[in-house]
Amino acid sequence: MITLQKIAKSFIGEEIETVAIDEMDLSINKGEFLSILGPSGCGKSTLLNVLGMLDTVNSGEFHFLGQNVSTLAESQRAKLRKQHLGFIFQNFNLIDELSVEQNIELPLYYQKVAKAERKKRVDAVLERVDISHRRHHLPAKLSGGQQQRVAIARAIITEPDLILADEPTGNLDSNNSGQVMALLQQLNREGATIVMVTHAPEHIGFGTRAIELLDGKIVSDRRIGEALKEVSCG
Ligand SMILES: Nc1ncnc2c1ncn2[C@@H]1O[C@H](COP(=O)(O)OP(=O)(O)OP(=O)(O)O)[C@@H](O)[C@H]1O
């Protein structure tokens, strides 16, 4: 589904250049649930932003579903993003003034899906994340775990090919974290491809593969259940 070839991304400040991703190679297959770990500043968010087509690279190639994203204009990337990607954020990013069901329905509005179809899909996805009983509430009336389940419903309602999650449990207590991780694992078992940045090593067991970054490079890559495989950084 995704191939990164010698991807490099740096940020130029007033005096110094910070290398956030250093000539990285990475392939992600359909059906994987990949966790990205590593210390603060190692490039996790930058990598997720590149995969989410929110940021461009300085060099290297990025292929997504057979298309060379590196050569696309912003408008073409936005179209791919809207059609194929779902995003889940640490702070949920729900719209405070909209109810649970209106938040979830929003991406379908943007895709100009007809009203009856929107209702059908919202009903199904509310059921799926077990939040139907809160459908008319505003986000502020929900617990953090419930808000993240709404955000997951919003991410999956367009049936994206890839779900990108940036520390989805970062603002949750351990009980709510467990519920959110179990939901992501279930979605993956039903076929969703997920890439998740996490600071919680205990959560990689919900996924199928984990990579660890250091200074913009992949230093380990393992299938979950397999022994740790160190990657030579040459
Ligand atoms: N917009 C930016 N301008 C300048 N430097 C940046 C920018 N974004 C990231 N960086 C730098 O790039 C490097 C990688 O940052 P990134 O946010 O990807 O790390 P991270 O692993 O996600 O960190 P954290 O776990 O703290 O969120 C860091 O040194 C960071 O300071």
What's the confidence (pLDDT) of residue 14? Answer: 85
Q: Ligand 1 in contact with 11 (CB < 6 A)?
A: yes
CA distances from 91 to 44, 88, 148, 166, 221 (A): 17, 9, 8, 9, 28
Flag residues of the chain having pLDDT under 70.
226-229, 232-234
**Domains along the chain with CATH numbers:** 2-93+160-223 (3.40.50.300)
What's the confidence (pLDDT) of residue 225? Answer: 77
Phi-psi region of 31 (alpha: psi -120 to 50; beta: other; left: phi over 0): left
What's the confidence (pLDDT) of residue 232? Answer: 65
What's the confidence (pLDDT) of residue 29? Answer: 97
pTM as predicted: 0.93
Phi, psi of 89 (to 5 degrees): -115, 160
The residue whose CA has the least distance to atom 5 of ligand 1 is: 11
- In this structure, are strands 162-166 and 17-28 parallel, antiparallel, or unpaired? unpaired
Q: What is the pLDDT of residues 217-229, one digit of tens each?
A: 999 999 997 666 6
Tell which atom from ligand 1 comes closest to the C-alpha of 213: 21
Q: What is the ipTM of this complex?
A: 0.96
What's the confidence (pLDDT) of residue 227? Answer: 63
CA of 41 to the centre of ligand 1 (A): 5
Q: What is the DSSP string of 43-68?
A: SHHHHHHHHTTSS--SEEEEEETTEE
Can you tell me the distance from the alpha carbon of 219 to that of 202, in angstroms, rounded to the nearest whole number? 19
Q: What is the pLDDT of residues 73-122, one digit of tens each?
A: 999 999 999 889 999 999 999 999 999 999 999 999 988 999 999 999 99
- 3-state SS, residue 5: strand
> What are the DSSP E strand ranges found in 149-214?
162-166, 193-197, 209-214
Query: The tokens of 194 are what?
Result: 């997920």
The residue whose CA has the least distance to atom 18 of ligand 1 is: 43
